[in-house]
Chain A
Amino acid sequence: MKWNKLFLLQLYLCIGITQVSAQTDMDAILMEKNAFCVGPGYSYSSWKNYWEGTKKRENLNLGTVSTQTFAIMGNYGISNKLNALFNIPYVVTKASAGTLKGQQGLQDLSLMLKYRPINQKIGDARLAVFGLIGGSLPMTNYLADFLPLSIGLRSKTAMARLMVDYYYNSKWFATASATYVYRSNIELDRNSYYTDRMVLSNQVEMPNATSFNIRAGYRTQWLIAEAILNNWTTQGGFDITQNNMPFPSNRMNATAVGVNMKYVMKRLPQLSLTGGASNVIAGRNVGQSFNANAAVFYVLDLSKKEKKVNTSNN
């Protein structure tokens, strides 16, 4: 199985919240038909400094804000070219200083379809093109209007992604993707709020977002090691004003760099371990977070006959 790069969306999202997207929706790996890869994941992210608009600062009344995510993730091979992915995260937030209470709960269910229309051999290399569509839905009535300690933003999202993968000599690869994320309006518990003007409504217009992701490194059946650059840009939204609290429709931008590893057990190839770490290097209205994550996955063959995991992903 090819299973790695979980929790990518988590890196860039807002000041203290996580929004874990489906686990392998950023990579160029597909499960074979009828194979179902599933497993638990854990991620920890924290920040002390954040960007209030473009100004970087700390907040002694929050100290370090941490987010832990416990997730169940899965990927099912509908066919060799089409996979369905899901992610169910439980999120726990905490501030190390001040009086504000950390939050916890089931966050957003995300579902995604990943399709590979083109998979072309060119000399020693192979070029593959992927299209992905998906979305997320809040699973509980959690509090969104309590940033940076909210566990999520409560927005329903729909997203589309185009991804290109170049794989050389069955060892080296580079993957690039661009994503557009539609975010539905959210509803607050209060009936007025101030953005860059007063709004007399409990509805918040959420700006959409774009994202790009570039990853490159070494990839074989047994081991993946890669470096990642990720950017999340909110198309609109407003800046946090001085000493204000963050708000769900802030203009949240972040650029993160990181590394990821995946290791497949030779003795038991159905079992794989993944791990990664990343750091936000530039941002706006987000925490400068460090993130580390790990997961264990197991591949089940849901077809009648014995089936091998498609490890070549080609």
Chain B
Amino acid sequence: MKPQSIFIYILVLACTATSCKKEITEQTANAQALNPANIDAEAGLWKPILLTSATEFAVAAPAATNLPGYNAEINEIKSWQKNMGEQERKLINYWGAGAVLRWNEITRGLVAKYNLPPYQNPDGTYPIPDANNPFNNPQFPFANPPYASRAYAYISAAVYDALIAAWHYKKVYNRAAPYKINTTVNALLPTSDLPSYPSEDATVTGVMVEMLKLFFPTEQAFIQQKATEHKNVRVMAGVNIRSELDAGEALGKQVAQKFITRARGDRAGAAVGTPALWQQLETQMAATGEIPWISQESPKRPPMLPLFGRVRTWLFDSSTMVTTIRPKAPPSTKSEQFKKETEEVLHYSKNATRQEIAIVHFWADGVATATPPGHWNAIAADDFISQRYSEVRWARNMALLNMSLMDAAIACWDAKTFYFNPRPSQVNPAIKTITGLPNFPSYTSGHSTFSGAAATILGHIIPGRKQAYENMAKEASLSRLYGAIHYRSDCEEGLKCGNAIGAYAITRARTDGAE
């Protein structure tokens, strides 16, 4: 080799490496400011999920704009704008992209932070996260996929109901935005004809503060800081006065309580089961002659939330789930088909291509991620940004998506516990996995069920992307086979089951008044 060429190569290498900027631009960092194509002025008439009506919680009339108090509130805007710095502008850009979007992202971040399985006790048992002692070891919650799906669903549904109420009162009081009433106010975010009392942003914040207390109780300091930041942005951007925020926040908090009451009674608290139940699931399946699921972790970990299948659903009732939604039985562990499918898993374990492995990792959404439901929230959010939805439509579409995803979790966990089917690595230890092996039964695939449900409802919401969503769902589903953690039947039946659940969401979407 020529010394000169080596020298030059190394210099070029060093130069290119050092000139690389390290700062990363995140996917939604520069999302455009929310400027709805349609303000959905009549959204107060849309059908809520839990509220009996948009007027279930009262919002008092705003004080008149010709009283001195109004001017004092305008002065708050001006005092912020007088001392506006780089930091304030950054916050305006961040929150300006939309309340539902940013709080959805914050929620995904919390899920990822708390999506860590508890570490075992010295005696080989596992401690169970305890909502009443959230700061103890293990931390509460363990935001695994069922837990996460439930958090996303309640939060999205509550935000949606609260915004229907907010839109109702906006129309009733018809209070114009501060920059319309006082032309000396600078609007630093897009202006709108939407009445500004009560504030839709603060309504979302009010819901979020309460809902996140329930789902991530140890994060209240962080959440309060975000809420304060968000509300201040609305004032400093000249798009709300303080009393509009106060009214919106109060409304959001009241609506949230209704959802919290439902959550406390939805049987999720009992989903973890008991040692007696865990044993019984194994013994009763073994008694049928089928190979029961056994944890492949060491020490053996109880199955994740085996009674999550009994949690209260959103889009259909529990008898429908058993009679209509529950997938047919998987291939018997004694059958030829089961043997063939296990061999197929072994094939991928040994021969998955780099491209297939990339698919496995793209969709893995395992430990310390926002989970598959969170991934579908990210996919939806990215697309919703370009659709320029109003906040209330954002909320409605997120609610439809997340109710589907939670119902998918419930139906899938019902099947997992009902069929208690072993993982491929259990029946053939030669099957090594290309991603973490989830600690619960195989049939059906959670990823497939989630993805089938999400793709179906999203394809209804944005028809132009229907085929793209279906392709993504199929890829997500097969990623679990490529990763050598699921049989093909798990993936295919999971996808079908998810599609059926998504269809219930479409039925709701067609009648909620938003289309």
Contacts and interface: CB of A to CB of B under 8 A. Distances in A.
A125 interface: no
Given A112-B10, A190-B361, A241-B116, A199 B26 contact: yes
Given A101-B433, A205-B22, A244-B368, A135 B3 contact: no
Interface stretch (B105-113, B179-187, B279-287, B501-509): B105-113
Interface in B184-233: none
B361 A145 contact: yes
Interface in B369-385: 369-370, 375, 378
B421 interface: no
Given A194-B369, A198-B109, A188 B10 contact: no
Interface stretch (B296-304, B310-318, B322-330): B296-304
A243 B370 CA distance: 16
A159 to B, nearest CB: 8
A200 B370 CA distance: 11
Contacts of B135: none
B37 interface: no
A194 B112 contact: yes
Contacts of A184: 17, 20, 22
B14 A133 contact: yes
Interface residues of A, number: 50
B412 to A, nearest CB: 21
A200 B354 CA distance: 23
A138 B34 CA distance: 42
B382 to A, nearest CB: 9
A185 B22 contact: yes
B368 A245 contact: yes
Contacts of B112: 192-194, 198
Task: Give the top 8 A-B pairs by smallest Cβ distance, nearest first.
Answer: A198-B109, A101-B432, A189-B361, A78-B3, A194-B112, A158-B17, A60-B298, A158-B14
A144 to B, nearest CB: 10
Interface of B: 1, 3, 6-7, 9-11, 13-14, 16-18, 20, 22-29, 105, 108-109, 112-113, 116-119, 137-139, 296-299, 349, 354, 357-362, 364-365, 367-370, 375, 378, 425, 431-434, 436-437, 484
A135 B10 contact: yes
Interface stretch (A92-100, A226-234, A270-278, A306-314): A92-100
Chain A CB count within 10 A is highest, among B118, B138, B431, B434, for B434
Contact of B3 (A76, A156, A203): A76
A49 to B, nearest CB: 15
Nearest to B3: A78
A169 interface: no
A143 B361 contact: yes
B299 A60 contact: yes
Interface string A94-120: 000111111000000001110000000
Contacts of A113: 6-7, 10
